Structure 1
Amino acid sequence: MAPAPDRYRPQATAKQRRRFALNAPLPRPVAQPRRVLFVSTSFPSSESDWKGLFIARMVEALAAREDVRLRAWMPPGPLPDAVDSAINDDDAQWLSKLMQAGGIAHLMRNRPLHGAAAVTGLLARLRRVYRDAADAQLFHVNWLQNALPLPRNDRRPALVTALGTDIRLLQLPAMKALLRRSIRNRRTLLCPNADWMVPVLEQAFGDIARVQCVPFGIDAGWYGIERTQNSDGRHRWLCVTRLTKNKLGPLFQWGERFFADHPGRELHVFGPRQEAGIAIPAWVQFHGPATPEALRRDWFPSATGLITLSQHSEGRPQVMLEAMAAGLPILASRLPAHEDLIEHARTGWLCDDAAGMAQGLEAIEDPMRNAEIGEHSRAWARDRIGTWADCADRYAALYDELLSP
């Protein structure tokens, strides 16, 4: 009896049969791309905008794949040609204003009433977007708050990313219960971008959803940076952050004795002011916001190290990943997010107090120690994080898992 025909193989032509006889394999048809509704409340408005830049890189990497078709609901900005926009004019204007106001988290910290109104407006808009996305096979939702309005009578699967601020969100009254109601009737993957968040999410949702860390990627250009030791003997330390009390931490208090009184040591701070009342000392060289291109071209190659004493609810700070890919040593406060990235004294330096900061400055300013830490941190970034294309590979594999029978 002849074997049953392969129902996935198209009927071969005579020419193709001759090729097959010569051991040339027949081409298989390309599977239909996964149709994904991609949701984010952050996205850069232009090529030079720093806000939501990691979301732009994620979208670009996913859009480059033939097996994924994105329809994106996000603030207006430069989308790749392969991505369809799911946003109407009213939502576009509303999200643009939200981005200009600093986002929901910023509003909740500084203008709670406006923040509460923004949350209500966001949930109503997202509820409509999810309901009207008839063509989508699955939802890729960035951040737990945006999963709250997922329709309960719709069983399409969801991949939900989580950042450090999402963990803080879970501390709000009834938040866990509301999120459980949104995801319990669908196949759901919760994907934090750092390992330290996994047990927290598993404790809250592990009985109804699977939790898996999915690291974001790093632009390939950071891996190509060639660092040079300063011949003038000066040590330029960089702090790249949003200027808020928690993001800065005790940097200015502890740093005064180590920078103001050391003429050969400089602290350069980059980032937007996002809280009133942040006084920048005279010994600090403040540059305002800087594009990744400027940091990569003008600052990272000749800097001694990156410093962050953040006390914020960090996930896995992208600027730290970029510094590690560039081989730029990091001096960081001892937070779960920083411990998740840095092996103390090998791929960076962790400190608990001013004395530990002093030790870290001295260790990283030693040329041989600096080069050694830089090599180890670059190797870690390449092996554990990779590029944005690697990140897209991770997400695409999970899309297939969610859509498998």
Structure 2
Amino acid sequence: MQVLAHEPGGIPVALRSRRWTRVLLPAFLLSMLVSCFRHARRADVIHANWSICGCVAGVVGIVWRIPVITTLHGEDVTRARHRALDRAVLSLCLKLSDRVVAVSPAIESWLRERYPGLAHKIQTVGNGIEDELLALPLDRPDATASGRLRLLTVGSLIPRKGINRIIEAIGHLPNPRRVRLTVAGSGPELAALEQLVETLRLGDDIEFVGAVEPRMVVDLLAKADAFVLASHSEGRPSVVLEAMAAALPVIATDIDGVRDIVEHESTGLLYDGDDTFHLAGHISRLRESGELRRRLGATARRRIVQWGLLWDNTSQQYASLYRALSVETGAKKKA
């Protein structure tokens, strides 16, 4: 079961890359259902993450008459846009859940448009970031003084994350030696990405550090000059919010879920995901202009503070939702 659920990219990636894992899926879902039945009996609220888990929790909630909240992420919407089976799972999840939380306004908007009859269940609660990121210094050592712009990207090494785009963009630079990219994450694309680095002769310019603990992500952000996201699709990427809180300028793909939080030329730089030369141009701009890096980073941090995107605020929103559902359910049972 570890192979199915705990690899980078989760169950969808495991099912695509290792077809034999499909035989594990029925047993996996059944064990999840049994476990949920056992642990939820005395609960006041069941909170699930991801649409398939929301379906399982929804069945248990009906049996035990317990309200269910399901939090949906970008991957839920991305899969539903492209596959009928995933749309069916998402639809069932919405019907079985008492409340549905989207992690970004873009996801909420798409869900409301797609399922207008269930719109009353849907709301947004954004993920928070760690307070310590806001304590990182605004002023970083000048990249031109050290000779290299320190870029960071964090994410699973799966096709959707587009790490190859960043590598290709660095290969387009007139002098790649003036940039140093750190890639934090693991996944099935590692060998292909390492081969790409070797083919482009960028071995001295790109480092793969593997999967890292959350504490280590803070350290990596503290040592970076800029953050890069090259994903093909996202919900509301927490790592971008973390980079903004760390006062890093962000270069990111111009896609739903990202343009909600990164404003071009204000809190970061957006680019057409298919245009690696465009990405290379943004990297060059940040490499050459310390003033631009400082301005974008400072504005990004101010935006995080203005939005109140801290875990304390997120937890308060969820606590209010738990209490409201508990009260509603109690009133229905008495009636």
Give the structure-1-normalised TM-score. 0.69
- Aligned partners of 1:349 and 1:254: how far apart in 2? 15
- Aligned partners of 1:184 and 1:272: how far apart in 2? 35
**Cα drift, residue 263 of structure 1:** 2.5
SS in 2 for 1:392: helix
Q: 1:105 to 1:305 in 2, by over 3 A?
A: same
The answer for the alignment partner of 1:308 in structure 2 is 229
- Aligned partners of 1:293 and 1:321: how far apart in 2? 15
The answer for the alignment partner of 1:65 in structure 2 is none
SS in 2 for 1:341: coil
**Cα drift, residue 190 of structure 1:** 1.1
- For 1:4-403, list aligned pairs within 5 A: 94=1, 96-102=2-8, 103-114=10-21, 116-132=22-38, 133-149=40-56, 150-151=58-59, 152-170=62-80, 171-181=82-92, 183-184=94-95, 188-208=98-118, 210-226=121-137, 227-230=139-142, 231-247=145-161, 248-258=163-173, 261-275=175-189, 277-280=191-194, 281=197, 282-283=201-202, 284-297=206-219, 299-311=220-232, 313-352=233-272, 353-365=275-287, 366-403=289-326
- Aligned partners of 2:269 and 2:165: how far apart in 1? 16
- Aligned partners of 2:280 and 2:91: how far apart in 1? 45
Per-residue CA distance 1:278-309 (angstroms, 9 max, x = gap): 13214122222333333433x43342201122
| Greater C-alpha Rg | 1
**Cα drift, residue 189 of structure 1:** 1.4
Q: 1:345 to 1:215 in 2, by over 3 A?
A: same
Give aligned pairs, total. Answer: 306
SS in 1 for 2:215: helix
Q: 1:130 to 1:369 in 2, by over 3 A?
A: same
**Cα drift, residue 178 of structure 1:** 4.8
User: Higher relative contact order by CA 8 Å / sep ≥ 6: 1 or 2?
Assistant: 2
Identity, % of aligned pairs? 23
Per-residue CA distance 1:203-250 (angstroms, 9 max, x = gap): 344413511111111111111111412332421111222222331152
The amino acid of 1:243's aligned partner reads L
- Aligned partners of 1:117 and 1:134: how far apart in 2? 29
**Cα drift, residue 192 of structure 1:** 1.5
Per-residue CA distance 1:48-85 (angstroms, 9 max, x = gap): xxxxxxxxxxxxxxxxxxxxxxxxxxxxxxxxxxxxxx
Q: 1:314 to 1:185 in 2, by over 3 A?
A: closer
- Aligned partners of 1:154 and 1:203: how far apart in 2? 31
Unaligned runs of 5+ in 2: 329-335
Contact 1:202 1:210 (8 Å CA) reproduced: no
- Aligned partners of 1:336 and 1:135: how far apart in 2? 39
Q: 1:176 to 1:401 in 2, by over 3 A?
A: farther
Per-residue CA distance 1:64-116 (angstroms, 9 max, x = gap): xxxxxxxxxxxxxxxxxxxxxxxxxxxxxx4x4544544312212202341x3
Structure with the higher helix share, 1 or 2: 2
- Aligned partners of 2:153 and 2:94: how far apart in 1? 38
Contact 2:79 2:86 (8 Å CA) reproduced: yes
Q: 1:185 to 1:241 in 2, by over 3 A?
A: closer
The answer for the alignment partner of 2:333 in structure 1 is none
**Cα drift, residue 142 of structure 1:** 0.8
SS in 2 for 1:340: coil
SS in 1 for 2:83: coil
- Aligned partners of 1:205 and 1:161: how far apart in 2? 16
**Cα drift, residue 202 of structure 1:** 1.6
Contact 1:245 1:278 (8 Å CA) reproduced: no
- Aligned partners of 2:91 and 2:193: how far apart in 1? 42
The amino acid of 2:252's aligned partner reads A
Contact 1:244 1:278 (8 Å CA) reproduced: no
Contact 2:153 2:182 (8 Å CA) reproduced: yes
**What is the alpha-carbon root mean square deviation over aligned residues?**
2.4
